Amino acid sequence: MNILRRYSIAPSENHTPGVSVKEYESRITFRIDGRESSYVFQVDKEGNLEHLYWGALIAPEDDLTYLTKCNIPGLFDPTGILDTNTNTNSDENILIRNDSAFGRERQNFVGKNSKLLEWSDGGTGDFREPSFKVKHKNGSTNCPLKYKDYKVMKGKPDILESALPSVYVESENECTTLEVIMVDEVTDFSVSLFYTVMHKYDIIIRRVQAHNNGEYPAVLEKLVSCTVDFDAEYEYHLTQLSGSWARERHINTNKLPNGVSNVKSVRGTSSHQSNPFVVISSDFEAEEDFGQCFGLCLVYSGNFSITSEISENKRLRVNAGINEEMFSWLLGSKTDSDSNVFCSPEVILSYSGNGLGGLSRDMHRMIRENLIPKQWRYKVPLTCINTWEATYFNFVQKDVVEIAQAAKNAGIELLVLDDGWFGKRDNPTSSLGDWVPYEKKIPNGLNNLVQEVNDAGLEFGIWVEPEMVSADSKLFREHSDWCLRVPDRSLTLGRHQLVLDLTRDDVIDYVYNAMKDLFTSANIKYVKWDMNRHLTDIYSSKLDSNRQGEVSHRFMLGVYKIFKKLTTEFPSIRIETCSGGGGRFDAGMLAFSSQIWTSDNTDALSRMEIQYGTSLAYPLSTMGAHVSAVPNHQTNRSTSMKTRSLLAMCGTFGYELDPRKWTTKDTEEIKSYIEIFKNISKVIYEGDLYRLWNPFKTKSMAWMIVSQDKKRAVAFAFKVQREIGSLDPRLKTRGLDGDKLYNVKELCPRTLVVNKASGALEHSSVGYPILGDDIVLKGKTLERAGLPVNFLFDGDSVCYEFCSK
């Protein structure tokens, strides 16, 4: 076939990542190459975008259109278009096969339902889950879109809806963007599909922009961020991160059944229960280091849905985007240029031919370098002490300052004053919205308190929950219409609080100004931004009845707007987001906050699973992790200081303890862990993660982090439940340079002692190493022969450091 036109930003012949487009007589092919992967689709004769391939890199010269030969015409597929004006039937142009079925001639026409598609409309022959749904003036939702045009651009264009969080690049050479436009000629409704390939990863960022250019307004009832069709396999597996409060992001992998499966949230947040991230693995369950994995991660924090549909011919369709449940959006007509466009959130598509491990490492690097706020990219946060589990609501200024002074002795650098400092807040029943210091607790103003904490040698951080209002608050008494509420119905409380109506500009302004006043009132270096209930009573008094379906998404846009303004104006304040622990741990939040509180469950053994599950998508540097008291306040379980410390070091590393209770020996021990963390934190924050033992499959967990230059690494192993007389496998390293010599040293070596007061078995901080002296071995020996570990009790742990000679 003759190539009529060829356009290529990055020549793909030598596998340079980029986009290449080939135009033939009756079709156009689009090919998107990442570092080691390809994504290919074409415009078919009917103007559909037909998906051809997503997977490992394929030869650049090969034309993949032959793959469409495996399309089987469905017996009930629509067979053509009857043009009622000319009375011509496009069926006539279609070859008739001689095999007879269903009592009539069968045609070779392959309808939409039997194709792999990049974008799909409902009601005109594709019976799978559609990519969008738009209701026109006449009540019909039919809207068959045909290919119209394309553009290839260097870099990544901004999203028109500027409030939405997005992946960023610093130079246009880091990525290439393809925009493909599809139009419905009858209504002039169109969509632009954006594909941005990140050159140094196997990652494509997709998003969609819908545009109503018709005479009349239309109602968008669904618009996903991407549709991805996969060709038939014997089996597909889906891995998702699901859980509950205090048990977030446990790994769940299941074989996909025929029909539709849905990972979703309608709680107004991404939620504790589900996460907007899934991995599809084809043919067999993905292993850590082996197998093909396809990841989808929404850059969004509100209601979402990721549906997977196995159709009758064993093909798989995955749709990811805003949840269509409770969603609709009124699009203006062509004359309403400020309201006739709708932008979907971004979705990160990642491919790995090296199992889940490869997929996670690419996601981690991309999130660290292209998503979290730039200013925090290579900065390890200060080690912190958070007052929540030390005092809960029960403190006055003196307590806070004493905590700071005692924490300073151990080398802690930042104090975070948690809930209870504002309004008249002595418990969770009041004051959210009244963001002024509680005089009873902080009599001389916040600045004075912060000054005293600074004088003690610590920086200061503060807790807020700006999206909420307490029923018992000055704000609610003055503006009872400022919360989400349905007229003439009673209000639904959650933790005694209501959700502010952040679809409204006046409420957004109030929250922004309250935060701005707070941030400028004292030397604040850090903010913990909490959100402690889910959305109900989804209704805004400021929106017309035909716009009430917009509330949940507008709420999210309002939250993002506030974040954007504040993070732009206060770039030196680090934000940790939180939602009753890890109820909003998603890529949308990470665009504004470099870290997220991973869970309210601070028990080390529970955290093992929570942090391991979270690491499938999100880097260790983003996981808020603190050492807390024993027995643990959530589980009543006791684990050693060493194990609690090592787990917290695999995150942002801080404390929820009351340092006023520490003995000199405790302080010295904590100081020694902080020194260890300081020494290895760069590796943990910027290195590549290799998961070694899976806590969901074994009663233990191990992983290691290897610096990008492979000169340094740290490995951690934890034992949930030890079995007497049974050995643990040797810890076989991953990711080291096989030919490099490494000095292997056990950090915080082990010694078992009996705590005379409690009778509990604990580690002494001065111990003996398992290996005796440090040893020097080649990377390949460590990977193949491994290192011995020898756990002595439930919850025991070990940590090795590797430094190349």
Closest C-alpha among 141, 182, 193, 179 to residue 47: 182
Alpha-helical runs (H) found in 570-640: 587-590, 604-614
Among positions 204-233, residues that touch ligand DGJ (CB under 6 A) are none
For residue 661, how many other CB atoms are within 10 A of its CB?
A: 10
| Cα-only R_g, the chain | 28
Question: Which residue in 581, 588, 659, 795 binds ligand DGJ (CB under 6 A)?
Answer: 581
Question: Which residue in 176, 391, 532, 643 binds ligand DGJ (CB under 6 A)?
Answer: 532
End-to-end C-alpha distance for the chain, whole angstroms: 57
What is the number of the residue whose Cβ is closest to ligand DGJ? Answer: 419
Which tokens is 263 given?
A: 């990972």
Residue range at the interface with ligand DGJ (CB under 6 A); choices 344-352, 573-581, 725-733, 776-784: 573-581
Binding characters for ligand DGJ, 377-396, by CB under 6 A (x = yes): -----------x--------
For residue 790, how many other CB atoms are within 10 A of its CB?
A: 12
414 is a site residue for ligand DGJ (CB under 6 A) = no
Least distance from ligand DGJ to the Cβ atom of residue 564, Å: 23
Least distance from ligand DGJ to the Cβ atom of residue 426, Å: 12
Nearer to ligand DGJ, 496 or 711 (CB): 496
For residue 521, how many other CB atoms are within 10 A of its CB?
A: 16
582: helix, coil or strand?
strand
Cβ atoms of 559 and 507 closer than 8 Å: no
d(CA 214, CA 87) in angstroms, rounded, equals 26
597 is a site residue for ligand DGJ (CB under 6 A) = yes
Distance from the Cα of residue 424 to its chain's centroid: 35
Among positions 446-475, residues that touch ligand DGJ (CB under 6 A) are 463
653 is a site residue for ligand DGJ (CB under 6 A) = no
Least distance from ligand DGJ to the Cβ atom of residue 518, Å: 16
Burial tier of 98 (Cβ tally within 10 Å: 0-12, 13-18, 19+): exposed
b/e for 222-259, b at 16 or more Cβ within 10 A? Answer: bbbbbbbbbbebeebbbbbbbbebbbbbbbbeeebeee
Nearer to ligand DGJ, 405 or 579 (CB): 579
Nearer to ligand DGJ, 580 or 779 (CB): 580
Least distance from ligand DGJ to the Cβ atom of residue 388, Å: 5
578 is a site residue for ligand DGJ (CB under 6 A) = yes
Question: Which residue in 419, 459, 586, 728 binds ligand DGJ (CB under 6 A)?
Answer: 419
Which tokens is 106 given?
A: 């069968």
Residues in contact with ligand DGJ, counted by CB under 6 A, come to a total of 11
Least distance from ligand DGJ to the Cβ atom of residue 363, Å: 24
Cβ atoms of 96 and 108 closer than 8 Å: yes
Nearer to ligand DGJ, 358 or 461 (CB): 461
**Which residues are annotated as catalytic?**
530, 600
d(CA 175, CA 13) in angstroms, rounded, equals 17
Nearer to ligand DGJ, 37 or 470 (CB): 470
Identify whether 373 is preceded by a cis peptide bond (ω within 30 of 0).
Answer: no
Least distance from ligand DGJ to the Cβ atom of residue 393, Å: 8
Q: From residue 12, give the alpha-carbon distance in Å to each of 17, 57, 146, 205, 730.
A: 7, 10, 27, 19, 44
Instruction: Tell me which H or E stretch contains 551.
Output: helix 551-569
Question: Which residue in 74, 302, 580, 651 binds ligand DGJ (CB under 6 A)?
Answer: 580
Nearer to ligand DGJ, 18 or 583 (CB): 583
530 is a site residue for ligand DGJ (CB under 6 A) = yes
Residue range at the interface with ligand DGJ (CB under 6 A); choices 203-211, 505-513, 576-584, 647-655: 576-584
Least distance from ligand DGJ to the Cβ atom of residue 511, Å: 18
What's phi and psi for 557, nearest 5 deg? Answer: -60, -40
The length of the chain in residues reads 805
Residue range at the interface with ligand DGJ (CB under 6 A); choices 318-326, 507-515, 517-525, 574-582: 574-582
Helix%, strand%, coil% for the chain, nearest 5:
20, 35, 45
Least distance from ligand DGJ to the Cβ atom of residue 520, Å: 23
724-730 own/partner pairs: CB under 8 Å, 24+ apart: 728/700, 728/789, 728/790, 728/791, 729/693, 729/786, 730/785, 730/786, 730/787, 730/788, 730/789
Nearer to ligand DGJ, 495 or 784 (CB): 495
Nearer to ligand DGJ, 74 or 581 (CB): 581
d(CA 308, CA 316) in angstroms, rounded, equals 7
Least distance from ligand DGJ to the Cβ atom of residue 411, Å: 23
Binding characters for ligand DGJ, 599-638, by CB under 6 A (x = yes): -x--------------------------------------
Amino acid at 555: F
Nearer to ligand DGJ, 182 or 498 (CB): 498
Least distance from ligand DGJ to the Cβ atom of residue 465, Å: 7
Nearer to ligand DGJ, 350 or 579 (CB): 579
For residue 557, how many other CB atoms are within 10 A of its CB?
A: 19
Return the residue matching tokens 């601070």. 602
Least distance from ligand DGJ to the Cβ atom of residue 559, Å: 17
Binding characters for ligand DGJ, 697-736, by CB under 6 A (x = yes): ----------------------------------------
What's phi and psi for 128, nearest 5 deg? Answer: -85, 180
For residue 8, how many other CB atoms are within 10 A of its CB?
A: 17
Nearer to ligand DGJ, 109 or 597 (CB): 597
Where along the sequence are the contacts to ligand DGJ (CB under 6 A)? 388, 418-419, 463, 530, 532, 578, 580-581, 597, 600
